[in-house]
Amino acid sequence: MCIGMRKHLSNAASLINNVNSYNYIIIYDPKLKDIVIERFNFKNIYIYYIDCKSYDFLFLYNKSNKFYRFMIRQDKTTSSFTLINDFFDTKVRDYFIFTDFYFISKDQYTHLEGDNDILDVLKKLDI
């Protein structure tokens, strides 16, 4: 299957605005075992989609000004994501198509199993 077709079959394709503008790659890391990281990038914007067994998350990274945003969806049957940050960032809405968008501070977030390993792999990639 070609990469272009696989991009449109990704669960993240229906969540990203103008997904056709983005390049797409799949990242495998032996440390993560069954978890696949999908990266969508356009210019300096990198969006990582990680589909875990019981939840999934998006990691938005702007390479030009070094900001990142972490969003999690604990109910995979919806397109409702929660932004985990120090403040609510409305600019995130420019990149995504969400039906519901919530916010919690980093202090309120309790890490899910495997989050730290995934974040470690992402830090090694582009950040």
Q: What is the DSSP string of 21-63?
A: GSEEEEE--GGGTT--EEEEEETTEEEEEEE-SS-EEEEEEET
Residue 118's contacts (CB-CB under 8 Å, 6 or more residues apart) are 32, 35, 37, 50, 52, 57
DSSP category for residue 16: B
Into how many domains does the chain fold? 1
Q: Domain range holding 42?
A: 3-125
pLDDT in tens, 2-52: 555 678 888 888 889 999 999 998 888 777 777 788 999 999 999 999 887
The pTM assigned to this predicted structure is 0.81
Residue 76's Cα: distance from chain center in Å? Answer: 13
State the burial class of residue 81 (Cβ atoms within 10 Å of its Cβ: 0-12, 13-18, 19+).
Answer: buried
